[in-house]
Amino acid sequence: MVAPSVIELIDEWQSAGKFIWSGPFNDNKTGMAIFEATEKDANRFYDKYNKICSGVLSYHLNRWDSFPLLSMLENTA
């Protein structure tokens, strides 16, 4: 029941011209989504995601710079 709502949220985000990259890890139990947003937009997206997934999934919101490897890749592009 969660998946259709998450897909709708992602489609809504992308149809507004915003970037999001998401997918599962090899264990098919965990995944990651990376999106670019202002802090305000990121919090709004997280709040919507929270309403959909609360009590069903474990999830966290982190800033891009909290992932040093990804930040290094960004600087080399």
Given this model, what pLDDT does residue 72 score?
A: 60
Query: How confident is the model at residue 65, as a pLDDT?
Result: 67
Record the pTM.
Answer: 0.73
Residues 10 and 22 sit within 8 Å (Cβ to Cβ): yes
pLDDT tens for each residue of the chain, 77 residues long: 788 999 999 999 999 999 888 888 999 888 888 888 888 999 999 999 999 999 898 898 887 765 566 556 666 55
Amino acid present at 41: D
For residue 44, the model assigns a pLDDT of: 95
Q: Who contacts 56 (Cβ-Cβ below 8 Å, separation ≥6)?
A: 2
Q: CA-CA distance, 3 to 9, in Å (whole number)?
A: 10
Query: For the chain, which residues make up each domain, given as ranges?
Result: 2-15+35-76
CA distance 2 to 56: 8
The amino acid at residue 56 is V
